Chain A
Amino acid sequence: MPSLALGSEKTERRRSTRISRMVVPVVKRTNTRSSRSLHLKGAPQRQEVSDSSASSSSGSSDEDEYQLTKKDVQDEADDLMDYKEFSPEIDEDFSDSPPARSLRSRTNSDSSDKENGRRRTRSTKRAANETPSKILAEKLSKTSLTTPKKSSARDLRSAKTPTKQKNETPRENVQKSRGRPRKVFLESDGDDSEEEDVSNKRKNQTPRERLTMKIPKNMIKPRITPVVISKTPGGTLRTRRRMRQNSEELDDVVDPLDSNSAKTLKELASRLHLSKVPEQLPCREAEAREIEGFIREVIDRKRGESSAMYISGVPGTGKTATVRAVVNAMKKNAKCPKFVYVEVNAMIFKKTVFVEIHNGIQEEFNISKKSQTRAKISASTARQELNDIFKKEDSKRPPIVILIDELDSLCNRKQDVLYDIFEWTALPQSKVTIIGIANTLDFPERMLCQRNASRLDKRRLVFQPYRHEQIQEIVRARLQGSNLVEKKAVELVAKKIAMNTGDLRQALDFLCRSIGVAVEKKAEKLEVVHVLEAQKAVLESLKYRLVKGLRLHQLTLFRAVESLTRENEEVIFAEIYKNYCIICSEVSGIEPASDNFAYGMLLELATTSLVTLARGDHGTMNRRVKLGMTTMEAERAIKEATEKHKSIYSV
């Protein structure tokens, strides 16, 4: 059940998507074409126009549709009643609408454009010789229109019950977004009158209405939002951009480099968040210059030609961020020639990489002549279309730069996907440039066949892992001016990370965790102690903690496995059980569990991968078991666990 209690913008938005989904059957009856158009999320306005033209041309088919049975007439009348009753939901003042307007004319109404004027007159004319359903509908609409304004507004309010929402038409949705008459809107405020109206209303209700149960708002459980999956696929950058726009609308984004914004450690942690990438990336100036030079070269109006670049580097070294920053700067620069930039993460959109590229380009420049909506295009069509488009020379088409992140995940045995993509760069007329990003330095040589590797050979760029000074500089840039963080704390984090991976993501995460520790300790400044504590928290490996948490019998069984696997890597359960019984009776002094129970415990150990079980069905006694860690680690874990168990089990 939809929640009505929430009034935030987000809920409104979500509700509207829900409504637009629910209304389909109602619309179908009035106009099949328009109902189809509703599924396409792309451009509702455009669909409306085409809708009117379609309805004018296919008048006869409309007539056929209206040859309804008696039952249908009744249904339609009911629908109309519902429609009347629920109209307040969209806050429309129906007293202003012309009485002769039929349901159809209203659903099609669009006060803003010319089309509507025409449509309205047409529907008025048609009203004279309507089908029975229309006549009945008209009568009903008249009666409802003659009722006092206030009661209609009340009716409207009561229609907010979740069951009713289903009857809302998509057209109402459109109307909802348009200007609403103030008066009704104001009157509809306040929920108290809702319940007292029920008895009055009941008299005027249709049988169907009466059957519908009214549930007080407070009894309606908050609705669990369904997984709303947009039909529109979106690449990483595009969704990010959209998201940023949305967030800018809602509230001002805190500039990560604004030193005045952070007064507490928590705010500071927010500044270190990975999503808050500064516009200019420190310590990557040379790489940024090289990328910019490369892009400028390929988008040059006179000399520019298709090319490819391969960027490699370990995770968290700013590969993608640098390219994004360069492109953003170039896009903002008015002097820079126009170009289309598309970004696809091949790991996320592995199967639909061509669709993503196609839609990405389409968003900025109309490449496809067919009026195919973005969501509809299939992977193979997109691939074919892109291949065709790039083969032809088009002087109007701006140069296209495609960034493919995690390029290595597109590598399959045939390498046909990569070949197609790199083939574009081989065509001089295509003006397509590929920037591929992956982790491995020698990916082209190692993984790609010659024809693909040679295309990537033209330009290479390697992002070295960050050194500790660089990490410090980057962190300092993010924390600029803030004196809440001790310099030595940052230095310690930077050195620790630089020593291991040089991954900036990990460094920032480490700092955030340290800040978390500091906040927990109610410290005002981040100190070295907090960093050490944060490190300590993740230092103890999960395996030791898991072994420590084992119950007495499970630990004994684990000991049995450990002692047997010292000599042989694999043992069978029969042996383990024998050993377990011995340890139980001789060492722990407890009654051993039955073999069946012990096998259950072994399976439990396997779920945490403390032991690994071999596959194949050879019976429980023949089940082969391996230790899930090295014997040394197991020994240490057991030692620690026994210490702990001494106090718990007094064994």
Chain B
Amino acid sequence: MLTETEQRSVKKNARRALDLLDDQVFGLGEQERQIENIVYDFLQSKDGKCCLLEGERNCGRESTVRKVMEKYKKELRVINAGFVAADPNYQQELAREEDSGYSIFLVRDADKLITPQQQKILYTMVDKATHFSWLVFFSISRHDFAQNLQKQATSRIPKVQVSFDTTHNYDEYCSAMTQFLIPKGSKCEDDKCYKKFITSLNFEKWLRPVFQTSRFVVLKQLAAQILILFGYYCEEWESSEINKMISAIVARSLPSYNEKVIILKDQTLRSQCVFLCVWKLLQNKESDGPLSVPKTSYRNVFLEFKKLVNSYYPPLNVSSDIFVFRELDHLVKMGVLKADESTNVTNTSFKKVWTQINDTVVKDTIPQLQLPSRISDFFESISK
């Protein structure tokens, strides 16, 4: 439990760290250096140039370029390829644009320009970059970007590239988290109380699953949520309470997080039973073909449901199949089931339905559902 002064200090420093969080880029020093070299050369020679920034989405390309631009106090013109691709006039406007000194561009999602129709924009940009003082950064993620280019564009696009595929180990990942929470060179670093509090969070213990699935971007989001919590919303400063709140935040980024199961847990008893009937029917069913999952029909689900309620739980009985069908439609809408929605199904009874959740996951979920013990026992015995 923290004293009031300590609480105040943590709050103040968390807010400070949150303000600084946006500008923090971690582990991209080499890339920053390369981009800086390119920008410096360009500003010196004013020779037009194109450069590919390769890497996965959210790997920090734009942040790095912006950081360099800030250093040189230059403006960056950002073109969103997704929007541009939808605008038929943009290419014309770009083509008519005249040389106004020098410009530095960043084309976001340049992958979208590889369709034959959009390559005109790409061609225009690259051609202009040859004759004008334009420095164009293309953000690309697809590995087949170069292969899909037309001949003219391939010839014009230079092979200057900055690769953003960095790998890092767990220690680096944890130190990045520390840096996000205690920014280097800030006042937070001087506050011993705040530092002690952050160390007491022991994130080395629970961060590993996040490390196995996500990059720094998720880590930054986590850090932001934790800082918002400490800076603004935290009222209970008991360590157990804090741990609870943090684990609630982190749970969403963990690989075990499953939204569909949460939805399923939220359904009514009848809905859950209908879902489990579908699951039971599909358990040992052969699929229709090699490229499809096993399916069952609405009618079969109704019969199965009838059987279940008659033998285990009569209060759940329905007078008509329409009630079961409605439940099925509702579950389809919720996304836990999928139904054949093609127009040629005229009779609802023969409509095909199948689950959107893996059967092992369902098996693990059954004990967590609040079902009457008889139904629960029945399904658990099936799953075994």
A residues engaging B (CB < 8 A)? 10, 13-14, 222, 224-225, 227-234, 236, 239-240, 242-243, 246, 266, 269-270, 273-275, 314-316, 345, 347-352, 406, 409, 439, 501, 503, 505-506, 509-510, 512-513, 516, 520, 537-538, 541-543, 545-546, 548-549, 551-554, 568, 570-572, 574, 577-578, 581, 590-597, 601, 604, 607-610, 618-622, 624, 628-629, 644, 647-649
Contacts and interface: CB of A to CB of B under 8 A. Distances in A.
B358 A577 contact: yes
A475 B145 CA distance: 29
Given A551-B214, A594-B256, A621 B354 contact: yes
A348 B56 CA distance: 30
A601 B101 CA distance: 44
B56 A607 contact: yes
Given A229-B97, A622-B338, A604 B155 contact: no
A102 to B, nearest CB: 37
Given A546-B56, A549-B56, A348 B152 contact: no
A604 B213 CA distance: 11
Given A348-B120, A513-B159, A275 B130 contact: yes
Contact of B258 (A269, A595, A628): A595
Contacts of B144: 543, 609, 628
A262 to B, nearest CB: 12
11 contacts: A227-B97, A229-B93, A315-B151, A406-B152, A506-B159, A510-B159, A542-B146, A551-B211, A553-B213, A568-B290, A621-B293
A604 B99 contact: no
Given A509-B158, A619-B356, 6 more contacts: A347-B124, A513-B158, A513-B159, A554-B213, A601-B213, A644-B167
B124 to A, nearest CB: 5
A541 B143 contact: yes
A639 B323 CA distance: 54
Given A315-B152, A542-B143, A347 B120 contact: yes
Contact of B143 (A505, A543, A594, A596): A543
Q: Which of A246, A315, A568, A596 has the most CB of B within 10 A?
A: A596
Nearest to B91: A348
Contact of A552 (B55, B213, B357): B213
Nearest to B160: A513
Nearest to A570: B291
Nearest to B339: A619
Interface of B: 37, 41, 44-45, 47-48, 54-57, 73, 75, 77, 91-93, 95-101, 120, 123-124, 127, 130-132, 141-146, 151-152, 154-156, 158-161, 163, 165-170, 209, 211-215, 255-261, 290-293, 338, 354-358, 360-361
Contacts of A648: 167-170
A545 B124 contact: no
Contact of A596 (B55, B156, B258): B258
Contact of B212 (A224, A275, A571, A590): A590
Contact of B45 (A266, A352, A509): A266
Contacts of B77: 225, 227
B99 A246 contact: yes
B99 A243 contact: yes
Contacts of A505: 155-156
A275 B45 contact: no
Contacts of A549: 55-56, 165-167
A273 B100 contact: no
A572 B292 contact: yes
Contacts of B41: 266
Nearest to B103: A225
A222 B355 contact: no
Given A224-B75, A594-B257, A234 B120 contact: no
A609 B143 contact: yes
Contact of B151 (A225, A314, A581): A314
Nearest to B130: A274
Nearest to B291: A572
A454 B136 CA distance: 41
B100 A10 contact: yes
A597 B256 contact: yes
A593 B213 contact: yes
Contacts of A597: 213, 255-258
A83 B355 CA distance: 73
A596 B259 contact: yes
B124 A574 contact: no
Given A618-B338, A621-B293, A593 B354 contact: no
Contacts of A225: 75, 77, 100
Name the 7 nearest CB pairs between A and B, nearest first. A593-B255, A315-B155, A619-B338, A549-B165, A594-B258, A543-B143, A595-B358
B355 A607 contact: no
Given A275-B130, A352-B92, A622 B293 contact: yes
B155 A506 contact: yes
Nearest to A440: B151
A595 B93 CA distance: 46
A23 to B, nearest CB: 20
B128 to A, nearest CB: 8
A578 B294 CA distance: 14
A225 B105 CA distance: 12
A316 B158 CA distance: 12
B38 to A, nearest CB: 9
Contacts of A270: 45, 47
Given A314-B151, A505-B155, A624 B92 contact: no
Contacts of B169: 647-648
A538 B256 contact: no
Contacts of A647: 169
Nearest to A540: B163
B194 to A, nearest CB: 31
A266 B338 CA distance: 62
Contacts of A232: 96, 98
Contact of A581 (B44, B100, B130, B360): B360
Contact of A222 (B75, B211, B360): B75
A553 B131 contact: no
Q: Which of B57, B91, B165, B215 has the most CB of A within 10 A?
A: B165
Contacts of A269: 45
B56 A243 contact: no
A619 B293 CA distance: 10
B131 A316 contact: no
Nearest to B209: A591
A543 B140 CA distance: 12
B161 A538 contact: yes
A545 B165 contact: yes
B358 A610 contact: no
Given A270-B45, A505-B156, A648-B167, A621 B356 contact: yes
Contacts of A352: 92
Nearest to B50: A509
A593 B256 CA distance: 5
A121 to B, nearest CB: 41
Nearest to B152: A315
Q: Which of B47, B260, B361 has the most CB of A within 10 A?
A: B47
